[in-house]
Chains A and B, each alone.
Chain A
């Protein structure tokens, strides 16, 4: 009985605390997603929406190769961006955690957030300035006499999208990895050295496995939003650098075909969910060993 009333009060308190964000999430996340799900089973009939249930949109998605190509390209770009970002973020997080004296760490974390002081759009434009035909890199290299013609592989294509996104998401990858590294008891690393391992083998046998949860979190945090990003491919991708999110945007806003856009969004969402679940399962495996 005592336990029952305890659980009740505990549950009551939890409900009070969670109700406002829950309602907020319900109104701004769950309901719109529900709307997208519904739209994806309807069709656009010129200016009106035909609300009879149909799988026509999904059929079109799988019949026309363009959608599959765009989704595949999106997954590939996100995959590469994730890989590049995490690979570049790990050494930064490692340096921050192991080599920066503890009283300087908050300063360093503060410095890492500096790119967020300007809007995302401006940062994308800045990359244009850096990567463009008359941009910083090309004029610099030409001025130095290293190249005669501007490099063309760094703007208005997939490479430019990857470079821009990898930069934009770097802090999101650094932070979870840093936190995971900070949590590692330093005596574990000393124990490994004491038991005969070198610095390098200690990294692979102790540090890396113990930082895995942070690594997986970084992968998810970078991978999921980059799939849905349409600003960067729009501005940096050129004709060949368009991704699935651009197609969704086009369907909704230019072709006035919300049901088709909703169906594409649904397929993309299912793909992302499936990939995310794989990583969550991986994380579970690593977390199981933690006390």
Chain B
């Protein structure tokens, strides 16, 4: 697949503040791409430089083969859904959606039909005559989407579009955005700080920290083979154990768990020097009466219990490991919830281990 958007060495300074540090990025045509990171990591700034709302300090941005240097926002083949939705309060819903059609050569009735179609697409058919201020947050968001999509941009930029919605609405909109993206086939770039949202919606995700891309991968790779501790911590939960590589690097001695061959461990690249081993809570299991570990087992003591209804999170202290291991267990039928202080046998599997630098 060809790159629709190419960023090379993009830098952005605000005075002394270095917001973007040498961003190289290719975004493919038709993909759902997410920029994920904590607040202040530069993800919104990056989105705004693509939109043309911010100038880059250096580096180049090409969209569809065209250099965007000096091209203002109104001349770029991108449209944006703003975090605040930016629905014009002095206009009706239909006037909002049709805002960008002023220069469109089509006639009035055709434009009205296009507006109605766009409203229909986002589930707001018949809302055209309403005043924008009479809409709920979710409806405003749909207006903002319709207003951008009606212009058939090459790229739709979404700046934390779901962060202001309540949880139920957010989950519904996530699925709807995926459906919309497949339907229109436009490249979507989503900015979010919500790792779950990024995992659910994206084809690929760039995780950003302090103006740099920490890792760029599809959701599964990102979750299963995070490149660094930082990425691993940001995407889901992970236990980290210090490890010592043998001289020939064939084996690793993991604190509390013992020796494991490095060949079967997930890594993303060559690793030497100080290493850690990561284990996701759901790949560990507490063994109950009569259960035996399919591969490996270690003894521990429950030090904390957090009950979530469908799941229970345990902190289990294991000898030789400084911090307790977090284990998540599904609350299956007949399975008791253990108390703090209970002895627990932990099953683990070297195939679920991730070898990380540091």
Which A residues are within 8 Å of any B CB, using their own CB? 185, 187-188, 190-198, 201, 205-206, 209-210, 286, 288-291
Residues B147 and A195 in contact, CB atoms below 8 Å apart: yes
The minimal Cβ–Cβ distance linking B103 to chain A, given in whole angstroms, is 6
Q: In which size bucket is the chain B interface?
A: 20 to 34
Give 11 A-B contacts (CB < 8 Å), ordered by A residue: A188-B86, A193-B72, A194-B78, A194-B79, A195-B148, A196-B102, A198-B74, A209-B90, A289-B89, A289-B133, A291-B134
Chain B residues with Cβ below 8 Å from A194 are: 51-53, 73-74, 78-80, 148
Q: Is B127 an interface residue (CB 8 A)?
A: no
Q: Is B88 an interface residue (CB 8 A)?
A: yes
Per-position binary interface string of chain B over residues 86-127, scored 1 when its CB falls under 8 Å from any chain A CB and 0 otherwise: 101111000000011011000000000000000000000000
Interface of A is mostly: helix
Q: Is B82 an interface residue (CB 8 A)?
A: yes
The minimal Cβ–Cβ distance linking B146 to chain A, given in whole angstroms, is 12
Chain B residues with Cβ below 8 Å from A290 are: 89-90, 133
Complex-state Cα separation, A201 to B133, whole angstroms: 23
Chain B residues with Cβ below 8 Å from A289 are: 89-91, 131-133
Residues B82 and A187 in contact, CB atoms below 8 Å apart: yes
Residues B131 and A191 in contact, CB atoms below 8 Å apart: no
Residues A187 and B86 in contact, CB atoms below 8 Å apart: yes
Complex-state Cα separation, A286 to B131, whole angstroms: 12
Q: Which residue of B lies closest to A192 (CB)?
A: B99
Residue from the set B78, B88, B102 with the largest chain A CB neighbour count within 10 Å: B88
Chain B residues with Cβ below 8 Å from A196 are: 74, 100, 102-103, 151
Residues B91 and A195 in contact, CB atoms below 8 Å apart: no
The minimal Cβ–Cβ distance linking A103 to chain B, given in whole angstroms, is 14
Cross-interface CB contact of B132 among A190, A193, A291, cutoff 8 Å: A291
Q: Is B239 an interface residue (CB 8 A)?
A: no
Q: A196-B100, A289-B131, A290-B133 are in contact. Are A191 and B72 (CB under 8 A)?
A: no
The minimal Cβ–Cβ distance linking B164 to chain A, given in whole angstroms, is 13
Residue from the set A190, A192, A196, A210 with the largest chain B CB neighbour count within 10 Å: A196
Residues A190 and B88 in contact, CB atoms below 8 Å apart: no
Chain B residues with Cβ below 8 Å from A185 are: 84, 86
Residues A190 and B91 in contact, CB atoms below 8 Å apart: no
Complex-state Cα separation, A16 to B25, whole angstroms: 65
Residues A195 and B99 in contact, CB atoms below 8 Å apart: yes
Per-position binary interface string of chain B over residues 128-154, scored 1 when its CB falls under 8 Å from any chain A CB and 0 otherwise: 000111100000000010011001000
Given contacts A187-B86, A196-B151, 13 further A-B contacts (CB under 8 A): A188-B86, A188-B89, A191-B86, A193-B72, A193-B74, A194-B51, A195-B74, A195-B148, A195-B151, A196-B103, A197-B102, A210-B90, A290-B89
